[in-house]
Chains A and B, each alone.
Chain A
């Protein structure tokens, strides 16, 4: 069937409410008799909780209740961790601290008052007596002898040791002609979704139901966990993710406040709202990255990489959040990147530190892998006197080698890596740039060209690989009028699937885009789903929609055949929204006619159920592996260390594209978050565990003026994993761009003998490196 919508730059259907201010985020929800919660948080990174005096707060105007950890420890279960690793140390993680606090920002008490101003006032009246303990913030120190222990029951700050091997790493190093090694720090960064977290909870005693509106990426998974934490039956908990103002992984979690506010609503019999401040968002919403690695590559003089050895220390933070331990395992799985590197060893040590937990932040473990490897490819090229593009070309698997097995045990679905890199090199005018670079160097100017070729693991993912299911669900419900309602288990929050799913459905059913409505994010309306993360919503969730719509079409076609008096269903065609018998095209039934007939049920084929809807749970057989090549061109001001962008070229291959405009948007946003990590962002804690970058005044995320024009292009290699051929694109930019930018800066400084700099590449760091060179 001709595609009217799929593949087109269709403007988003969700935008009308967003651009007119008519959308509803959590803080926009008002319930009758609603009260407000505010949280008292630890000001120490590590301390014993002695006494908490709440009397003054209880007496303060408007205050309804105050609870401490002791008050709720029996009533609310611990914050869950879903990931499993061998010998994983899982400390109890109470929703309000009990006995000890282990990071600045850890919830200690909660106040509920009639309005938000009164709740905030009462926070200041709560006196908490702490006995400060020595804190440990540096993960390397945390796992060394004599470090203060966060969780005494373990006697160590080592949360886990995880290893992955493929091939014969010892042999690779024996056969190496050159060994290149580099220590690299992938600094801790903070997601900073523009909408902070927030929760509204309301208990309906008549139905025994708790409704929780929360800014989440995973309403169903959260419902299951909340029910367990609060001791409720899962079918008595309704989680609604209303409009969600950005997540980037930071809302792919189960947070203490979500259970706590639910508890308060039940306990107090009034709806309760809690809205995170930006300061709280910095302190107590998950952070990302936080890896220190020693990387060694065994290489031949021609640039062939024989093997890679990684020793990684993952900064865990004080407790695990939902997926904390799983993140560095994704680093390990992707450690050989888009290259044929047959031998691999990865060791990851997780270290508890007196800081907020790290967890999934856009890319989640994969940007770390790509960063290390792409830095290494440049290091190898330099060491061997080869062109960095050439070294990459030499190590790529060829298109006919797919599915391509990796040393980490994955099977890359499809790809054409040389094509993507060639395209990027052409677009940027690589040869000419290299010549210009030579000329400028003679003039004392520092032009740098940074290449990053990447492959990512997306469409997460097959269920056996996940702590929860890795499938996604969809229901396609055709209403009697022929309008179509799609219920998706994915939970998009800006990615635009209300549009891309409608594009898929409209094309399949021959209806208009506005005839399709996509509903998601309400567990009382939508069948169980997994959620939106890991670049999975279109590749897995979209495929579920596609699967459901095929079932609907199949049933509608059978009904149409019956209504048209044709016994052989195969003779019935469905084109442009109309059914007809192939050799008798004059008599036609519209899709709407058939929908109505399905509900009127006056004449159904024997055995056919009335109605016209179908659900489909799509279980992917594999991940997908989008890939591409990014090239950054920068000039470094040798006097100040400032980095100025000249060009930024991105060639991405995310398989088949449903909506090119949305894909561009995802790529742009991803690149700019990567730019933030490469040049600006770092969560800085002082030695006592105080977060020094705890407000937007001190933590710089990119502004419009920090960003160059991004030149995007694509190649399109369909994925064989799903019938749509899509791979996913939500994280590509974040994964690809960080090393491209760092490689460009280091390349600019190459004449000075500078081989590596750790991020963020702020001007002072570059200036110091230049001065020290």
Chain B
């Protein structure tokens, strides 16, 4: 219940935060909404010597449209994403995903950047981030770079962020017309994290033929993944129940599912297949 002691810094700009990060390096932890880090600190599973609180870096809290892209600051709270009219209209998948994270109190504090960087294999955002083919802008004192969603998640609790780098922005596309999306989740009953979460983006033409399909799955493997085999089986096909069912059967292809107290590997893979189909059906209905 009681964290170990640490030194505390509260920068008000990205520049200041980067300077601190450069100085304290891996002895420092960045504190965003705190809902991944603080519980670990209270159980003393994390004992950073320095904590850099990004809570006052106001420049990282925004949701805005820029051409056919939507830009979201890393310190944007889940609740802001859940309730953003802009996102609900232009990229409802992200808002839908945010609406089922944790609980109301968690969504009021937790941030999209904090969640993504923590890279919990059962977090909700990664599925949507993958399905949306989002890009992440990271900065360091050396400059900045963009990381594609698929390159961002490396392994359980590991991202491709390098020491000294800070995630500042998430870019998702404004979804084109005739596009339906859905995020469905089977929650681990105690923690509320995903045993299986499936995010789907589907674009279907006038004739019912699938032009674009992207499926992101979280909770099932050590890191969230794109279900490429499902997508291939859908693209160019006239979508009906049998096509989506056949495609969904490939939802766990080529992955090594997690196994723990809450679900076996076999069941997780099964959930991925079932809920992939259900998510596809839902997305299709929303086109």
Q: Which residues of A contact B (CB under 8 A)?
A: 116-117, 120-121, 124, 277-279, 639-640, 680, 684, 692-693, 695-700, 703, 706, 762-764, 767-768
Contacts and interface: CB of A to CB of B under 8 A. Distances in A.
Given A121-B4, A693-B261, A764-B263, A640 B271 contact: yes
A684 B261 contact: yes
Given A124-B44, A639-B274, A117 B2 contact: yes
Contacts of B262: 698
Nearest to A702: B189
Nearest to B193: A697
Chain B interface secondary structure, helix, strand, loop or mixed?
Answer: loop
A699 B190 contact: yes
B160 interface: no
Chain A interface secondary structure, helix, strand, loop or mixed?
Answer: loop
Nearest to B267: A764
B190 A277 contact: no
B189 A680 contact: yes
A121 B189 CA distance: 32
Contacts of A697: 190-191
A693 B4 CA distance: 24
Given A639-B274, A767-B270, A696 B190 contact: yes
Interface in B1-28: 1-2, 4-5
A132 to B, nearest CB: 22
Contacts of B267: 763-764, 767-768
A767 to B, nearest CB: 6
Contacts of A278: 1
A116 B191 CA distance: 27
Contacts of B191: 696-698
A531 B44 CA distance: 38
Contact of A116 (B2, B4, B44, B261): B2
B186 interface: yes
21 contacts: A116-B2, A117-B2, A120-B1, A120-B2, A121-B2, A121-B5, A124-B4, A124-B44, A277-B1, A684-B261, A692-B261, A696-B191, A698-B191, A699-B190, A700-B188, A700-B190, A706-B189, A762-B189, A764-B263, A767-B267, A768-B267
A639 B274 CA distance: 7
B83 interface: no
A291 B226 CA distance: 45
B190 to A, nearest CB: 4
Contacts of A703: 189
Contacts of A762: 189
Interface in B116-144: none
B89 interface: no
6 tightest Cβ-Cβ pairs between the two chains A and B: A700-B190, A700-B189, A120-B2, A697-B191, A764-B267, A277-B1
B237 interface: no
B108 interface: no
A120 to B, nearest CB: 4
A700 B191 CA distance: 8
A124 B47 CA distance: 12
Nearest to A639: B274
- Size range of the interface on B? 10 to 19
A397 to B, nearest CB: 40
B279 to A, nearest CB: 13
A753 B1 CA distance: 48
Nearest to A760: B189
B38 to A, nearest CB: 14
A698 B44 contact: no
A22 B110 CA distance: 30
Given A124-B44, A277-B1, A640 B274 contact: yes
Which of B5, B186, B267 has the most chain A CB atoms inside 10 A of its CB? B267
Interface string B249-287: 000000000000111100100110010000000000000
Contacts of B264: 764
A762 B190 CA distance: 12
A194 to B, nearest CB: 15
Interface in B84-136: none
Nearest to B270: A767
A35 to B, nearest CB: 15
Contacts of B190: 693, 696-700
Contacts of A699: 190
Contacts of B188: 700
Contacts of A639: 274
A236 B278 CA distance: 67
B36 to A, nearest CB: 12
Contacts of A117: 2
Contacts of A692: 261
A119 to B, nearest CB: 9
Given A120-B1, A640-B186, A696-B190, 14 more contacts: A120-B2, A121-B5, A277-B1, A640-B274, A680-B189, A684-B261, A697-B190, A698-B190, A698-B262, A706-B189, A763-B186, A764-B263, A764-B267, A768-B267
A77 B97 CA distance: 56
Nearest to A706: B189
Which of B186, B188, B190 has the most chain A CB atoms inside 10 A of its CB? B190
Contacts of B2: 116-117, 120-121
A115 to B, nearest CB: 10
Nearest to A680: B189
Which of A684, A699, A764 has the most chain B CB atoms inside 10 A of its CB? A764
B171 to A, nearest CB: 32
Interface string B179-223: 000000010111100000000000000000000000000000000
A279 B2 CA distance: 12
Which of B186, B263, B264, B270 has the most chain A CB atoms inside 10 A of its CB? B270
A483 B189 CA distance: 50
A465 B1 CA distance: 42
Contacts of B274: 639-640
A700 B195 CA distance: 14
A67 B78 CA distance: 47
A309 to B, nearest CB: 35
A692 B271 CA distance: 23
A699 B191 CA distance: 8
B148 to A, nearest CB: 31
A762 B267 CA distance: 12
A722 B261 CA distance: 48
A124 B44 CA distance: 10
Contacts of A698: 190-191, 261-262
Nearest to B44: A124
Nearest to A697: B191
A645 to B, nearest CB: 15
A763 B270 CA distance: 12
A394 B267 CA distance: 42
Nearest to A276: B1
Contacts of A696: 190-191
A698 B43 CA distance: 14
Contacts of B261: 684, 692-693, 698
A312 to B, nearest CB: 27
B129 to A, nearest CB: 23
A764 to B, nearest CB: 4
Nearest to A768: B267
B123 to A, nearest CB: 14
Which of B189, B262, B264 has the most chain A CB atoms inside 10 A of its CB? B189
A692 B191 CA distance: 14
Nearest to A38: B2
A764 B263 CA distance: 7
Contacts of B44: 124
A763 to B, nearest CB: 8
Contacts of A695: 43
Nearest to A279: B43
B78 to A, nearest CB: 18
A156 B274 CA distance: 49
Nearest to A698: B190
Contacts of B186: 640, 763
A105 B189 CA distance: 25
Contacts of A640: 186, 270-271, 274
B203 to A, nearest CB: 27
